[in-house]
């Protein structure tokens, strides 16, 4: 499982929540990053059995650039790979306005949010995002067991793989950096469809290995 964060996008410079309607895709830099990543994957001999992306334009555009190297292999859109999903009415609004007008408040009127409570009204909580992304990633692993999958996604959905595949807790005592057009690679020799066995000393049904994380070597210089 090669998890790719999309390239540099207009949403960053626009300062807006760019969902399925408002996303303007990659910047010129983002396209250059995606091409460099594609060239590196090809040079390393990686031949994916399938390419997936979130349904958001910046991720789908990145996936399209990568898939160009593999002939008829067309990217498949998978909504489960999306980042935080906000209410459709917020699509295209600035983050400054969203945080000032739609911020989730506790009973005392103070800013609230975290693992189980969303930071903004209509948003997913972190736990909900992890459950959604975890289901999607596990489904792709089962569908392509024994093969190689490229999945283009977002910062928080790559981060969710640490919980889905690495069994880290929902709330960690540290933050992680996930660069644009970076590679995070998970490998297993187990059958991803292995059912839970509570009597197993390992606990988890599948043992994954994190082979690389936030690998941006193709962007150096």
For 69-101, what is each residue's pLDDT tens digit? Answer: 998 889 999 999 999 988 888 889 898 888 888
Packed helices 155-164 and 126-143: angle between N→C axes, nearest 10 degrees: 70
In degrees, to the nearest 5, what angle opens at C-alpha 55 toward C-alphas 175 and 183? 40
CATH homologous superfamily of domain 2-219?
A: Phosphoglycerate mutase-like (3.40.50.1240)
Nearest Cα to Cα of residue 136 among 48, 19, 54, 74: 54
CA pair distance 98, 81, nearest whole angstrom: 23
pLDDT of residue 121: 79
pLDDT tens digits for range 117-126: 888 777 899 9
Residue with tokens 């069994």: 167
pTM for this prediction: 0.91
57 or 96, greater pLDDT: 57
DSSP strand E in 19-103: where? 50-53, 76-77
Predicted confidence (pLDDT) at residue 113 exceeds the cutoff of 80: no
């Amino acid at each position: 499982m090669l998890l790719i964060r999309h390239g540099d996008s207009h949403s960053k410079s626009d300062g807006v929540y760019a969902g399925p309607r408002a996303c303007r895709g990659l910047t010129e830099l983002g396209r250059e990053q995606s091409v460099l990543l594609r060239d590196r994957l090809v040079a390393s001999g990686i031949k994916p059995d399938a390419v997936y992306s979130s349904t958001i334009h910046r991720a789908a555009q990145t996936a399209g650039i990568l898939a160009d190297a593999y002939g008829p292999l067309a990217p498949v859109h998978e909504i489960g790979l999306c980042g935080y999903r906000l209410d459709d009415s917020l699509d295209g609004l600035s983050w400054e306005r969203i945080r000032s007008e739609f911020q989730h408040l506790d009973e005392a009127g103070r800013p609230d949010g975290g693992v189980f409570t969303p930071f903004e009204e209509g948003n997913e909580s972190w736990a909900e995002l992890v459950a959604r992304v975890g289901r999607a990633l596990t489904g792709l692993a089962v569908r392509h067991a024994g093969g190689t999958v490229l999945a283009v996604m977002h910062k928080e959905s790559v981060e969710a793989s640490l919980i889905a595949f690495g069994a880290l807790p929902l709330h960690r005592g540290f933050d992680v950096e996930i660069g644009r057009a970076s590679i995070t690679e998970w490998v297993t020799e187990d059958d991803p469809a292995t059912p839970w066995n509570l009597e197993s000393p390992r606990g988890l049904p599948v043992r994954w290995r994190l082979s690389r994380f936030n690998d941006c070597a193709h962007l150096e210089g």
